Amino acid sequence: MRATVMYEAGDVRVENVPDPKIERPTDALVTITAACICGSDLWPYGKMPASDGPARMGHELIGVVQETGSEVATVKKGDLVVAPFAVSDGTCEFCREGLQTSCVNGLFWDSDKNAGCQAEAIRVPHADGTLVKLPVAVDSVLIPSMLTLSDVFGTGYHAAVVGGVRRGSKVTVIGDGAVGLLAVLSAKRLGAEQIVLMGRHTERTDLGREFGATDVVAERGEEGVERVRELSGGHGSHVVLEAVGNMPAYQQAVGVVRPGGVISRVGVPQYEEAPVGFGSLFGPNVRLAGGPAPVRAYIEELLPPVLDGSIEPGKVFDATTDLDGVPNGYQDMADRKTLKVLVKP
C-alpha cells in the first residue's frame, strides 16, 4: 500500500510500504477514507533529524473496517469508524477513568515509526477500546467534522474541561491553529462569558469569532499580555488554553492568567523546563493542567452535536488532497497558506 513517510525535517514522501495485516486477535484492519495533517506534525517537519527517520506519519483517521481479529466484538467488516490519535484497550484502570492516553496497553500512533494514518490502510490494535463506529455514510458531508473527533476537537475540548471552564469564565485561547479554534468552540460550549483569542491570521481569527471568540488580540509578547489584561478588567483570565506548545506561548499564558487561575496546555511542549516558581505560578497560586487529550473519552459526548449540525468543527479544514498531495500539504501548512489539510487516500 501507499503511505506517508518523513525522512527528516522538510522531507516528506509518499511511498510503497508493506500492507498491514491482522497480527493479534484484538486487531482490526481499516481502509482509511479520511485522514489529515496535524499542527503537531509541523514540529518534526520543522526540526526532525534524519536519525529519527524514516517515520510513518499521521495520527487522525476515519475508515472502513476490512477485517477483524477473532476477539473484536464492537466493530465488524464494513463499519465506518473513527480512531483517536492514541490506541487504548478500553479496559484498564486509566481507560475506565477516561484517561485513555495513559492506557497501560496504549500506544500513540506518533510513537510507532511503522504506523501512520496518512496512508491507505492501517492495523488498529485494541480495536474494541480504540474505534468508535460512526452512524453515517462514508461520503457524508459530516465527515470533516467527525474527523476532528480523532484529535483536534477532542484536544481543544480537553483543554477547556481540565482548565475548568464553566459558565461565566473569562478565557484566553493562545494560538489560532485548529486546536486553538476548537478550544474556542469548546469554551463557548462550556459557558465561558469572555473568550479572547490570541492569533495573528485574520482568516483564522474570523473563524474563531464564528466559533465564539468575543475578542481577538493580534499582538504578541508583552504588548499582547497587556491587551488581554485590559480586556479582562485588569487581573487576567480565569483560564488560559495554551494551544501552541512553545516557550513564548507558555510565557504569554503566565502573563495573562489571573491569580488563582489555570493554564491548561494542549500544545505539545517543545521544552522540558519552564518557569513555575514564586515569580510565575507559585506566588499567584496559578495551576498548570493539560496534556495529550484522551479524545476517546469525549467522542460519545461530542458526536451528537456534530450529527445534528449544531456545531461544525470541520470548518477548520480549508484544503483537501489525495495522498500524492500530502508533501505539499505539509509545506502549505508550514507556510500558513492553509489551516488544516484533509487527506483522502
Q: Residues 82, 142: contact at Cβ < 8 Å?
A: no
Q: Does 301 bind its own copies (CB under 8 A)?
A: no
Please answer whether residues 36 and 144 qualify as being in contact, where contact means their C-beta atoms are separated by less than 8 angstroms.
no
In the complex, least distance from residue 171 CB atom to its own copies, rounded to whole angstroms: 17
Question: Rounded distance, CA 74 to CA 63, Å?
Answer: 15
- The answer to whether residue 139 forms part of the interface with its own copies (CB under 8 A) is no
Among positions 102-121, residues that touch its own copies (CB under 8 A) are 102
49-70 as b/e: b if 16+ CB within 10 A: eeeebbbbbbbbbbbbbebbbe
User: DSSP character for 19?
Assistant: P
Residue type, 108: F
Least CB distance to its own copies at residue 57 (A):
18
The grid coordinates of residue 270 equal: 517543545
* Cβ 242 to its own copies shortest distance, Å: 11
CB of 87 to its own copies, least distance (A): 16
By CB under 8 A, the count of residues binding its own copies is 36
Q: Does 166 bind its own copies (CB under 8 A)?
A: no
Query: What length is written for the chain?
Result: 345
Query: Which residue from 272, 308, 310, 335 is in contact with its own copies, where contact means CB under 8 A?
Result: 272
Residue 269 binding its own copies, by CB under 8 A: yes
275 binds its own copies (CB under 8 A): yes
Which of 10, 53, 284, 305 touches its own copies by CB under 8 A?
284
Beta carbon of residue 33, minimum distance to its own copies (angstroms, whole number): 31
Question: Does residue 96 bind its own copies (CB under 8 A)?
Answer: no
Q: What angle do CA 53, 58, 61 make, to 5 degrees?
A: 155
User: Peptide bond preceding 54: is omega within 30 degrees of 0, i.e. cis?
Assistant: yes
Among 139, 273, 308, 335, binds its own copies (CB under 8 A): 273
Residues facing 197 on adjacent strands: 173, 216
- Indicate whether 235 belongs to the interface with its own copies (CB under 8 A): yes
Q: Which is nearer to its own copies, 104 or 137 (CB)?
A: 104
Burial 263-283 (b: 16+ CB within 10 A, else e): bbbbbbbeeeeeeeeeebbee
CB 30, min distance to its own copies, A:
26
194 binds its own copies (CB under 8 A): no
Nearest-angstrom CA–CA distance, 149 and 158: 11
41: left (phi over 0), alpha (psi -120 to 50) or beta: alpha
* 278 touches its own copies by CB under 8 A: yes
Residues 56-95 as x/- pattern, contact with its own copies by CB under 8 A: -------------------------------------xx-
Cβ proximity to its own copies: between 33 and 155 the closer is 155
User: Cα separations (Å) of 98 from 72, 95, 158, 162?
Assistant: 21, 5, 11, 12
Which strand (E) or helix (H) includes residue 239?
strand 237-242
CB of 293 to its own copies, least distance (A): 9
Residues of this chain that interact with its own copies (CB under 8 A) are 93-94, 97, 99, 101-102, 162, 235, 259-260, 265, 268-269, 271-292, 294
